[in-house]
Amino acid sequence: MIAIYPGSFDPITLGHIDIIERGAKLFDKVIVAVLSNPSKNPLFSVDQRLEQISECTQHIQNVKVDSFVGLTVEYAKLHHAGVLLRGLRVLSDFEKELQMAHTNKTLNQEIETVFLATTKEYSFLSSSIVKEIAQFGGSINHLVSANIARDMYQKYQNK
């Protein structure tokens, strides 16, 4: 079974990597799919994010990194995936995630959403929190992989 792990990944955090590692044990292949959505005004371009994610998932054999535009279920169908993988951190995630899962189910009944409970050390972690800390010069070394910390440091230094 192929699983799609869709998201913004702006940037990818250790919490995301944890979900990818665990998902890769459950499914034959996990495709990390970066949504290309310029209206979100991302910190990193899609190409930068693809490179970053490839670097920090290179230790996992059955992971592919890609980007997409449009509907996640359409992308999943195109790649013969039967599962959308998402992490659930806290109760407040649940409402949005359930809405997305139900919406996706109405769009394609064949595709299931599978949630993995985020490892508790990362349950507070989000890309937004990482950006906020980095922006004010705080350490993010315990929250992201070394390549991301380096890229973020460079980004905010140049601003």
Q: How far is CA 143 from the centre of its chain?
A: 14
Q: Does 42 bind ligand PNS (CB under 6 A)?
A: no
Q: Kindly list the distances between the CA atom of residue 32 and the CA atoms of 15, 46, 96, 130, 135, in Å, as whole numbers in the listed order.
A: 14, 12, 20, 20, 26
40 is catalytic: yes
Minimum CB separation of residue 100 from ligand PNS in Å reads 4
Q: Does 114 bind ligand PNS (CB under 6 A)?
A: no
Residues 78, 31: Cα–Cα separation, whole Å: 12
Rule CB under 6 A: choose which of 45, 58, 103, 128 binds ligand PNS: 103
Nearer to ligand PNS, 60 or 101 (CB): 101
25 is catalytic: no
Q: Does 7 bind ligand PNS (CB under 6 A)?
A: yes
Rule CB under 6 A: choose which of 3, 19, 20, 35 binds ligand PNS: 35
The one catalytic residue among 40, 96, 102, 150: 40
Residues 144, 74: Cα–Cα separation, whole Å: 30
> Considering only residues 70-99, where is the footprint of ligand PNS by CB under 6 A?
71-72
Q: Does 101 bind ligand PNS (CB under 6 A)?
A: no
127 is catalytic: yes
Q: Does 8 bind ligand PNS (CB under 6 A)?
A: yes
b/e per residue, 127-144, with b = 16+ CB within 10 A?
beebbeebeeeeebeebb
Q: Kindly list the distances between the CA atom of residue 124 and the CA atoms of 13, 21, 118, in Å, as whole numbers in the listed order.
A: 11, 19, 10
Residues that bind ligand PNS (CB under 6 A): 6-8, 35, 71-72, 100, 103-104
